[in-house]
Structure 1
Amino acid sequence: MEPTAHSQQEASTASSMETAEDLASKLNAAVRNRNKEVVLELLEKGADVNSKAESGWTPLQSAVQADDECLVQLLLDKGACPHARKDNGGTAFIEAAVAGNKNILKLLLDCGVDINDHDDNGFTAFMEAAWYGNEEALRFLYSKGANVNLRRAVSEEKMKLHKGGATALMDACREGRFLVVKTLVQDMGADVNIRDNKDRNALIHALKKACAKERYESAVSIGHFLLDCSVDVNSKDECGKTALILAVEMQSPDLVKALLEKDEIDIDDADEEGNTALMVAVERNYFDIAKLLCEQGARTDVGNLIAVANRNRNRNMADLLRQYNAKFVPETLEDWEPNSKRWRDQLKNLHKMYRPMIGKLKTFQYFQQRIQHTSQGGIYLGLHGETEVAVRTSRSTEGDKEKKFFERCGNCKHLLKLFQFEKAKGYMYLCFPLWEKNLEEYLQEPKDHEDYKGALKMIFQAVRELHSLGFAHQDLHPGNFLIDLGGKIYLADFDNKRKSIEDRKELTNSDLEALSRLVLYVLTGGKKPLQQVSAEDLAADSPDYNEALDLVHCLASHDERGVEGLSKHPYFSSKQARFQFLKGIWNKIKDFRNRNTVFQDFNATERFPYPRWTKEIDKDVLKIMENPKKGMQFKYRDNVSELLRLIRNLDEHPDSRISDKIGDYSEYFLRLFPALTIYVYNSLRQNPKYSCFADIQDPSL
């Protein structure tokens, strides 16, 4: 095709001296102007078909946005990359769903794009089609295998801000696309009860912006439709507002009435500021809705409703409230300070807000009061009386089973215990003593010193206690070890992965393997994820390196001593106890003419780590020991028995010349021969005759 006079005029500015940047800018402009002739001329002049304009737009993406199938095909034929991304991570395929062009979507799919690919904000083509109400494109993508219930994937940083997690259904609800909502649910099986990262389901998204006049009718229609589809009516928005409160805010008596017909609705549930549906209706002067709520039994003894009605100069509202026993109450401020430092602000908010009491329990189950995720649901803050607690909610049948298990933990020092429980409307509320952080969070904190041994002692005792109850944990990760305000560690199992041991050795072995990784994770300060840490990450010059390495090996190799026996491993002994152990061995092995054979015969797998120890010890110390002031001269040999003999003699026959030279004996020898303790310990343990001497007596244990 010959270029027109108009196209020649547009292209005439592109001389041979133009830069690549100039050509790219003109190419993108020509695409946006849908001028095929100029596009061809610029490409012939060397313009890069994959060049990027402002915000990272490529010519192909601009052609898709312009909804020009011919240009899209042309650019693909000229080598345009269908996988190129804008600055926000968006692709031509995702843009095609915004435009809603099924033919362009097919063209790009044929180029091998991933139908579930998403941009940096987690939006897929399917989500965009739902957002913009492009039903034809939506059906096409569904027919090609798009994931209907995919949740918006976002970065870890955005996850911490509770962003992302929404589905295509939520997008359609949010934008008031009633026909798309019906299509997604009825024809494509969209799940109405999935929640985003702010704990909002499709119903909440439908009602969030429904106060706007142009969205009201569609929001009401979507709300009724979702209620007919058994949507969860107890979901909340990011401010703790329930669907009932949102329905009141949008001033929809029909929707309020439909919600109240649901048995599971809590008419007195309140948002994060303590406002119930009735309080919102009174505040906004919605008399008909307030009357409906009062007739359905809404509480009138919270929120000082009469004062609000009087402030609004609404005498009819005040009369209505008095008819339902509302009373004017002077406001008083109560100062309360929680014990918890970590959860102080959330607890103070909970304390001052109105919440319907569940027995003696006050709790608010929405994400800003949530302290931990589990596969069984969230763990939330609560106040049982004046006691700060962590609350787990479950159906009564499952709750009864959990309650029985936690009651068995009552006499255990390091298993999470049940503090109290409450029952209401078919639910069990299990209340636990509140913790400050989990093990992972503890390790990430800056510390003046690292008492990892103390933490591991408590971890081992917790696992030992669980095994003694007849259960293997099967999920020993840092998030399941909880630390209270006093630094005490407790083991929890909120995901219910524990299994009855019943002589099944593989279950306890699995716990031992997990414990070996956990030891490494703790000793390396949690610098690597649990599954990535290895023995190579241990610093060879760290305290107790040899004992720690041996402990990890014993756990990983399913040592027959189990957690019970390995809780007495030399790693857990103090330096003083280890030195006392070493100095006493030579005296204990009395009936063996050559004590050294004890170690040669029964530790064949491990050679004595200091075969030339007489060359490593301080020369003056060795000379004094070989030439005592009293007694005969003696020549020490390079074997383990003689080294133990020297340690014993040095301690039993102290010499001020030596103590002045090396200071504390135990510090000196354990620093000079760090692998000696574990070598002697394992040698004795493997010797049937002398294994009883391998027990290191440590009063601290």
Structure 2
Amino acid sequence: MEPTAHSQQKTSTPPSTETAEDLAFKLNAALRNGNKRDVLELLEKGADVNSKAESGWTPLQSAVQANDEDLVRLLLDKGACPHARKDNGGTAFTEAAIVGNVNVLELLLDCGLNINDHDNNGFTAFMEAAWYGKEEALKFLYSKGANVNLRREVSEEKLKLHQGGETALMDACRRGHFSVVKILVQEMGADVNICDNKDRNALIHALREGCAKKRYESAVSIGHFLLGCGADVNSKDECGKTALIQAVEMQSLDLVKALLEKGEIDIDDADEEGNTALMVAVEKNDYNIAKLLCEEKARTDVGNLIAVANRNRAHDMSRLLQQYDAKFVSETLKDWEPNSKRWSDQLKNLYKMYRPMIGKLKIFQCIQQRIWNTSQGGIYLGLHGGTEVAVRISCSTEGDNEKRFFEQCGNCEHLLKLFQFEKARGYMYFCFPLWERNLEEHLQEPEDQMDYKDALRMIFQAVRELHSLGFALQDLHPSNFFIDLRGKIYLTDFDNKRELIEGKEELVNADLEALSRLVLYVLARGRKPLQQVSPADLAADSPDYKEALDLVSCLASHDEWGLEGLSKHPYFWSKQTRFKFLKSIWNKIKDLRNRKAVFQASNATESSPYPRWTKEIDKDVLNIMENPRKGKPFKYSDDVTDLLRLIRNLDEHPDSRISNRIGDHAEYFLKLFPALTIYVYNSLRQNPKYSHFADIQDPSL
């Protein structure tokens, strides 16, 4: 018996309301949980086997990460693309090397992947296996032709910063995988003396991580092994530290002995800060290493070794050094004058005092050295390699996100850039170029000589740059804009109030509204608090008054031209650009009826600001223009198009009688008709046919 239409409707599965994005998210989650039943069900519902979840992860890559060979085979059978890449350029193949699953690697390799293919950071599957210590995967990839000595390929931009060039051996050394290091060198012939783009060899990579307690033993073992394999002991890291200096920093007496026994090392070689191996040993109060270095004829006349030993209360060390002719030298600091005028006294005090160095950073966290308070803590003065900086301190767990944000600001002209950073004892020290004052402080200065138009131009660009990075600030307060010695303005977000825009237009609109208040605050010279200032506080006699009012209105109403378009607003135009704009309109709009139509359409919302302009202009000027020496008489009407015609004719057919009477044409007309520019500008903008005539970039900017 055939089922009825009613029974068919009752038993059928209702159509899914889930979006493709929902299905992709659930599919990736099911794969990472190894839930085959849910995977099959989602695929039957129409989940795209090649969809991408967060950070570009495909279902196949998620299955590989879950180390589920059956699910990998299932997805490949369903048409999953083995060549698909995550946002960082990684593939399922490189992910399989991280997991170390040889069967999956072989399965993917049979799909035609290039064994030496790499992600955006230059990592190949072979390098990933070395980094994560996956020995079987490493051996398999080597047997299939992986290039053992391949150096990490990076973009041209990173290459300029000397990044990249590392090998699988360097990765294994850095991560402390001693057994992998031995396999790479002894079984696969890895070259121990290849250098990366910072001229560091495998030995340097091994020792640079050796100070960490959990890596100490493996670093010592790898160091001894590489020395036995002929590693170059004179290679240095990016800070100029030799293997000997690094071994002293690790406080490994055995490794120091092994390096000195090579007889190829300069015992007095110094890093970029001038520190020798002996100086490091004395600073760390390692008597045995210092004694060995002295016995091996290390110089004791470099650095004030006795003073350092005395500061550490290391009397045995002091006597040892004296036995090898070290002398106490009374420290006399050379005269030093900071660039900063405002912070000069505090910087001089910091320069003179002794402080333990944090990398290249000298800082003293005390109220006298604090220059600003934020909700995230204080900002302090510092000297980084002798350069005056402002220092913000964050916990390392939060600092990585901060560092990523500030690094994104590196190519922006008016976002505060990260100068350098240091890490120590679970904290990150972010160093920024030192500023003199913030905008709020600057406007309170009685001698303030700020070019307000130029200041707002920089503020606008700063906000545009922040938006271009995908963030809205929601805190465009004048205290967040800093001014350096040259008067350049920078925006920063030390309070972490930025939010990702990601299509949230309301965040951009909120920034535009905040910017409208900030414009009023700046133009009102900061005489009122930000939240109390209003258009009534602007000087009505200012030559930019009408333009400023219009700019504030456009920002507050989320003008359709956006911040990019408003950065070209007539407020920012010079006097000559405004006058040139007015006199060009008559020629640009060719037909007389069209000229009148442009302004008549505008009159529906805003009437001409000068309906009787012929009565306001100098009578003699109007008479001369209506009765030219050469040409027919012409009667100008009070229509705004005739005013524009007069401005155009006056400038294109100069008459000395007029020039002698009114002087500079631009000065005269802009002062007499201050609302004309913005009226003409808005009239054009409201007309789709002629709006492009309003899109002007002042050539003087």
TM-score calculated relative to the size of structure 1: 0.55
Pick closer, same or farther for the CA change 1:465–1:386 going to 2, 3 Å: same
1:61-102 Cα offsets, whole Å, 9 max, x none, are xxxxxxxxxxxxxxxxxxxxxxxxxxxxxxxxxxxxxxxxxx
SS of equivalent residue, structure 2 residue 380: strand
What displacement does 1:542 show?
A: 1.3
- Tell me the equivalent position of 2:671: 671
Q: Which amino acid aligns with 2:493?
A: D
What displacement does 1:473 show?
A: 1.1
What displacement does 1:527 show?
A: 0.5
Q: Distance in 2 between matches of 1:510 and 1:324?
A: 67
- Tell me the equivalent position of 1:690: 690
Q: Confirm whether residue 372 of structure 1 aligns to residue 372 of structure 2.
A: yes
Q: Distance in 2 between matches of 1:645 and 1:597?
A: 15
- Tell me the equivalent position of 1:421: 421
Q: Distance in 1 between matches of 2:286 and 2:387?
A: 35
Pick closer, same or farther for the CA change 1:325–1:557 going to 2, 3 Å: farther
Alpha-carbon contact 1:306-1:328 (below 8 Å) kept: no
Q: Distance in 1 between matches of 2:468 and 2:308?
A: 56
Q: Which amino acid aligns with 1:414?
A: H
- Tell me the equivalent position of 2:530: 530
1:449-502 Cα offsets, whole Å, 9 max, x none, are 441000000000000011111110111001110011111101000001000101
Pick closer, same or farther for the CA change 1:557–1:302 going to 2, 3 Å: farther
SS of equivalent residue, structure 1 residue 598: helix
Alpha-carbon contact 1:524-1:538 (below 8 Å) kept: yes
Q: Confirm whether residue 345 of structure 1 aligns to residue 345 of structure 2.
A: yes
Alpha-carbon contact 2:474-2:497 (below 8 Å) kept: yes
Q: RMSD value over aligned CA atoms?
A: 2.7
Alpha-carbon contact 1:603-1:682 (below 8 Å) kept: no
- Tell me the equivalent position of 1:495: 495
Pick closer, same or farther for the CA change 1:607–1:318 going to 2, 3 Å: closer
Alpha-carbon contact 2:340-2:485 (below 8 Å) kept: yes
- Tell me the equivalent position of 1:614: 614
- Tell me the equivalent position of 1:646: 646
Q: Confirm whether residue 593 of structure 1 aligns to residue 593 of structure 2.
A: yes
Q: Which amino acid aligns with 1:700?
A: S
Alpha-carbon contact 2:482-2:491 (below 8 Å) kept: yes
- Tell me the equivalent position of 1:521: 521
What displacement does 1:603 show?
A: 4.2
Q: Which amino acid aligns with 2:353?
A: M
Q: How many residues align?
A: 401
Q: Distance in 2 between matches of 1:360 and 1:449?
A: 37
Q: Which runs of 4+ in 1 moved over 4 A?
A: 293-296, 300-309, 317-321, 323-327
Pick closer, same or farther for the CA change 1:605–1:359 going to 2, 3 Å: same
Q: Distance in 2 between matches of 1:537 and 1:295?
A: 68
- Tell me the equivalent position of 2:550: 550
- Tell me the equivalent position of 1:20: none
Q: Confirm whether residue 637 of structure 1 aligns to residue 649 of structure 2.
A: no
Q: Distance in 2 between matches of 1:634 and 1:691?
A: 30
SS of equivalent residue, structure 2 residue 333: coil
* Structure 1, unaligned runs of 5 or more: 1-292, 310-316
1:524-552 Cα offsets, whole Å, 9 max, x none, are 10011111101110111112000000000
Q: Which amino acid aligns with 1:338?
A: P
User: Where do 1:273-292 residues align within 5 Å?
Assistant: none
Q: Which amino acid aligns with 2:383?
A: L
SS of equivalent residue, structure 2 residue 490: strand
Q: Distance in 1 between matches of 2:682 and 2:447?
A: 34
Alpha-carbon contact 1:381-1:389 (below 8 Å) kept: yes
Alpha-carbon contact 1:302-1:354 (below 8 Å) kept: no
What displacement does 1:304 show?
A: 4.5
What displacement does 1:697 show?
A: 4.1
Pick closer, same or farther for the CA change 1:458–1:303 going to 2, 3 Å: farther
Pick closer, same or farther for the CA change 1:319–1:388 going to 2, 3 Å: closer
Q: Which amino acid aligns with 1:593?
A: R
What displacement does 1:367 show?
A: 1.1
Q: Distance in 2 between matches of 1:318 and 1:599?
A: 87
1:612-658 Cα offsets, whole Å, 9 max, x none, are 00000011100100010000101110111000000000000000000
* Structure 2, unaligned runs of 5 or more: 1-283, 288-302
Alpha-carbon contact 2:364-2:382 (below 8 Å) kept: yes
Q: Distance in 1 between matches of 2:306 and 2:442?
A: 40
Q: Distance in 2 between matches of 1:343 and 1:592?
A: 63
Q: Distance in 1 between matches of 2:519 and 2:305?
A: 52
Alpha-carbon contact 1:305-1:321 (below 8 Å) kept: no
Of 652-661 and 554-563, deviating more is: 554-563
SS of equivalent residue, structure 1 residue 342: coil
Alpha-carbon contact 1:438-1:480 (below 8 Å) kept: yes
Q: Distance in 2 between matches of 1:690 and 1:601?
A: 12
Pick closer, same or farther for the CA change 1:604–1:533 going to 2, 3 Å: same
Pick closer, same or farther for the CA change 1:505–1:613 going to 2, 3 Å: same
1:262-296 Cα offsets, whole Å, 9 max, x none, are xxxxxxxxxxxxxxxxxxxxxxxxxxxxxxx9999
Q: Distance in 1 between matches of 2:413 and 2:344?
A: 26
Q: Distance in 2 between matches of 1:575 and 1:664?
A: 11
Q: Which amino acid aligns with 1:636?
A: Y
SS of equivalent residue, structure 2 residue 493: coil
Pick closer, same or farther for the CA change 1:382–1:679 going to 2, 3 Å: same
Q: Distance in 2 between matches of 1:580 and 1:623?
A: 23
SS of equivalent residue, structure 1 residue 593: helix
What displacement does 1:696 show?
A: 2.7
SS of equivalent residue, structure 1 residue 373: strand
Q: Confirm whether residue 390 of structure 1 aligns to residue 355 of structure 2.
A: no
- Tell me the equivalent position of 2:539: 539
SS of equivalent residue, structure 2 residue 689: coil
What displacement does 1:607 show?
A: 1.1
Q: Distance in 1 between matches of 2:467 and 2:318?
A: 60
Q: Distance in 2 between matches of 1:373 and 1:457?
A: 27
- Tell me the equivalent position of 1:405: 405
Q: Distance in 2 between matches of 1:656 and 1:447?
A: 42
Q: Which amino acid aligns with 1:340?
A: S
Pick closer, same or farther for the CA change 1:589–1:677 going to 2, 3 Å: same
SS of equivalent residue, structure 2 residue 630: coil
SS of equivalent residue, structure 1 residue 414: coil
What displacement does 1:447 show?
A: 3.7
User: Where do 1:37-436 residues align within 5 Å?
Assistant: 304=307, 322=318, 328-436=328-436
SS of equivalent residue, structure 2 residue 411: coil
Q: Distance in 1 between matches of 2:671 and 2:531?
A: 32
TM-score calculated relative to the size of structure 2: 0.55
Q: Distance in 2 between matches of 1:516 and 1:466?
A: 17
